[in-house]
Amino acid sequence: MSETISVNLGTRSYDIEVGPGLIPRAAEFIKPRARGSIAIVTDEHVATVHLPVLLEGLRAEGLTAASLVVPAGEASKSFAGLEQLCEGLLDLELDRSSLVIALGGGVVGDLAGFAAGILKRGLAVVQMPTTLLAQVDSSVGGKTGINTRHGKNLIGLFHQPRLVIADISSLSTLPQRQMRAGYAEIVKYGALGDAAFFTWLEEHGPAALSGDQAALSHAVAHSCRMKAAIVARDERESGERALLNLGHTFGHALEAACGFSDQLLHGEAVAIGMVLAFRLSVRLGLAPKSDAERLCRHLTAIGLPTELSALGPQRLDGQAFIQLMSHDKKVHAGALTFVLARSIGDAFTTQSVPTAELLAVLSAD
């Protein structure tokens, strides 16, 4: 059984299928949308564990697909990686009726989605996310792109997929640390806009992370529903979609301080970032202290970092931190935008945060 969530974007609307065992039966969903040739883009890790099953399932339904395997890791989201992938896709003589399937984590989704968006002025893409982060976040909403030496995700497009297939079972091969990092984005949905979901996570989150399929399916589907609703109201992030950046302005600075290395995964940085956002909200008299503590308790229970001290020797002083934050691409007209909260489940954006209060939060640890 799978659950279908609709992303309502007029002519660019699409469905997200969430549930266990979906990769083997992906052809069922893809066949009605496949008018021409199919190219699967994946990375070398996912190629060994999930690609054969996908190919087999497509073949059984009479669909043939070529596959292109990119190196695993963020470095593939580069000009060089994009060039190689585009040339590889062109070698397959794809045309406007072709379909690109992105099978993998956010790296594959962002890279293949971008390549599909620019090849022949736009090919259809189906996202098949295989990390928890990609299932609840990057595969939905149409943001695609690559990194440059100036920063992450600075070159890209909005290119909505035709379909998203999130197979919960594919997460069984994902390392626990990656699972926990993806889970931080699930907590984000509760923290930014759904207190009841946050309470549900406190109760069922640990089970979801230890492989309870029903709990995991609910957590992923609910996150997708929340992201779909926000994206439908604000596709291009001119307002509400910015709430999805809760914890991210702080988080990106932390990732940058660690050189975007494995020392701190994106979701781990977001976990610390969300705690900082709540502590800042408390300091500004906007949110009760008990909510910041509650967020911290849940993240800790899951095994996610919540303190700046998790950075170890890379620990930043406040000014250096602010400097890194102001490199974020969400800076508008020179002013940093913060996502703060009135309580768990009630976030909002603001540009008026006194530097002294920010520095106080960054140095209290």
Ligand X SMILES: NC(=O)c1ccc[n+]([C@@H]2O[C@H](COP(=O)([O-])OP(=O)(O)OC[C@H]3O[C@@H](n4cnc5c(N)ncnc54)[C@H](O)[C@@H]3O)[C@@H](O)[C@H]2O)c1
Alpha carbons 165 and 107: distance in angstroms, whole number:
16
| Given 159, 180, 227, 298, the catalytic residue | 227
Kindly tell me which of 25 and 266 has the beta carbon lying closer to ligand X: 266
Kindly tell me which of 49 and 207 has the beta carbon lying closer to ligand X: 49
Question: According to CB under 6 A, which one of 72, 157, 207, 322 is a site residue for ligand X?
Answer: 72
Q: State yes or no: residue 143 binds ligand X (CB under 6 A).
A: yes
Stretch that binds ligand X, among 42-50, 207-215, 286-294, 322-330 (CB under 6 A): 42-50
Alpha-helix residue ranges (DSSP H) falling in the chain: 26-30, 44-49, 51-60, 79-91, 106-118, 132-133, 176-193, 195-209, 213-233, 248-257, 266-283, 289-302, 318-325, 355-363
298 is known as an active-site residue: no
Q: State yes or no: residue 9 binds ligand X (CB under 6 A).
A: no
| Residue 270: CB minimum distance to ligand X, A | 9
Question: According to CB under 6 A, which one of 137, 268, 291, 328 is a site residue for ligand X?
Answer: 137
Q: State yes or no: residue 283 binds ligand X (CB under 6 A).
A: no
Stretch that binds ligand X, among 89-97, 136-144, 290-298, 321-329 (CB under 6 A): 136-144
| Given 25, 45, 50, 252, the catalytic residue | 252
Which two three-digit tokens encode residue 128? 């098949």
State how far the alpha carbon of 112 is from the alpha carbons of 13, 175, 198, in Å: 19, 23, 33
| Residues contacting residue 152 through CB under 8 Å, at least 6 positions apart | 252, 260
327 is known as an active-site residue: no
Give which of 345, 176, 362, 326 is closest to 249, Cα–Cα.
326
3-state secondary structure of 285: coil
185 is known as an active-site residue: yes
Quick one: how far is CA 169 from the chain centroid? Answer: 18
17 is known as an active-site residue: no
Taking the CA atoms of residue 321, residue 192, residue 138 and residue 124 in that order, the dihedral angle to the nearest 10 degrees is: -130
Pair 70, 87: CB distance under 8 Å: no
| Residue 265: CB minimum distance to ligand X, A | 7
| Residue 181: CB minimum distance to ligand X, A | 6
3 is known as an active-site residue: no
| Residue 288: CB minimum distance to ligand X, A | 29
83 is known as an active-site residue: no
3-state secondary structure of 331: coil
Query: Treating both helix axes as pointing N-terminal to C-terminal, what angle do 248-257 and 318-325 enclose, rounded to 10 degrees?
Result: 110
Kindly tell me which of 130 and 160 has the beta carbon lying closer to ligand X: 130
Q: Report, in angstroms and rounded to the nearest whole number, the Rg of the chain calculated over CA atoms.
A: 20
Stretch that binds ligand X, among 58-66, 169-177, 277-285, 333-341 (CB under 6 A): 169-177
Q: State yes or no: residue 141 binds ligand X (CB under 6 A).
A: yes
Q: State yes or no: residue 263 binds ligand X (CB under 6 A).
A: no
222 is known as an active-site residue: no
Q: State yes or no: residue 57 binds ligand X (CB under 6 A).
A: no
Q: State yes or no: residue 78 binds ligand X (CB under 6 A).
A: no
| Given 17, 225, 245, 294, the catalytic residue | 245
Kindly tell me which of 153 and 300 has the beta carbon lying closer to ligand X: 153
Q: State yes or no: residue 173 binds ligand X (CB under 6 A).
A: yes
143 is known as an active-site residue: yes
| Residues contacting residue 78 through CB under 8 Å, at least 6 positions apart | 146, 147, 148
| Residue 231: CB minimum distance to ligand X, A | 10
Which two three-digit tokens encode residue 291? 């909510």
Alpha carbons 80 and 2: distance in angstroms, whole number:
37
Its sign, for the CA torsion 335, 78, 112, 92, is: positive
Q: State yes or no: residue 253 binds ligand X (CB under 6 A).
A: no
Question: According to CB under 6 A, which one of 20, 33, 49, 84 is a site residue for ligand X?
Answer: 49
245 is known as an active-site residue: yes
Alpha carbons 82 and 114: distance in angstroms, whole number:
8
Q: Which residues bind ligand X (CB under 6 A)?
A: 43, 45-46, 49, 72-74, 77, 104-108, 110, 130-131, 133-134, 137-138, 141, 143, 152-153, 170-171, 173-174, 178, 266
Give the active site residues. 121, 143, 185, 227, 237, 241, 245, 248, 252, 266
